[in-house]
């Protein structure tokens, strides 16, 4: 009986973690307008970036990687959207 209860608890925790974990592709869709968003709005939408780089022209490249998805977005030094540098979504 106790093993059965423990099994249900473990299954519930595992299911919760799987459901709670959202892929980048569900947070960022091609038809969604990111062009009007600034750096802070993009971070609030996609979460903390995995990397942030300063490019030679002074712009910032923020990159998110998760579950085979990758998004790279360039912002100017004021934090305004410049362009989507790369986007790869795992099928």
Task: List the pLDDT tens digit at each of the 91 positions of the chain.
Answer: 555 454 444 555 444 444 445 666 555 555 456 777 899 998 988 889 999 999 999 999 999 988 888 889 999 999 999 988 887 777 6
Coil, strand or helix: which one is 48? coil
Least Cα distance to 31 among 91, 90, 84 occurs for 84
Residues 87, 72 contacting (CB under 8 angstroms): yes
**7 within domain boundaries:** no
Q: For position 12, what pLDDT does the model report? A: 52
Q: For position 14, what pLDDT does the model report? A: 47
DSSP code at position 80 = B
**74 within domain boundaries:** yes
Q: For position 36, what pLDDT does the model report? A: 78
Q: For position 32, what pLDDT does the model report? A: 59
Q: For position 69, what pLDDT does the model report? A: 86
Count of domains for the chain: 1
- pTM reported for the whole predicted model: 0.66
Residues 45, 27 contacting (CB under 8 angstroms): yes
**8 within domain boundaries:** no
**10 within domain boundaries:** no
In whole angstroms, give the CA distance from residue 55 to residue 49: 16
**14 within domain boundaries:** no
Residue spans of beta strands (DSSP E) within the chain: 51-54, 60-66, 69-75, 81-88
**17 within domain boundaries:** no
Range of the domain at 78: 23-88
């Amino acid at each position: 009986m106790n093993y059965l209860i423990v099994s249900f608890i473990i299954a519930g925790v595992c299911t919760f973690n799987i459901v709670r974990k959202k892929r980048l592709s569900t947070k960022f869709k091609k038809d969604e307008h990111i062009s009007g968003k600034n750096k802070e709005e993009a971070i609030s939408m996609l979460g903390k970036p995995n990397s942030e780089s300063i490019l030679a022209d002074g712009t910032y490249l923020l990159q998110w990687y998760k579950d085979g998805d990758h998004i790279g977005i360039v912002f100017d030094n004021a934090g305004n959207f410049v362009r989507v540098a790369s986007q790869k979504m795992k099928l």
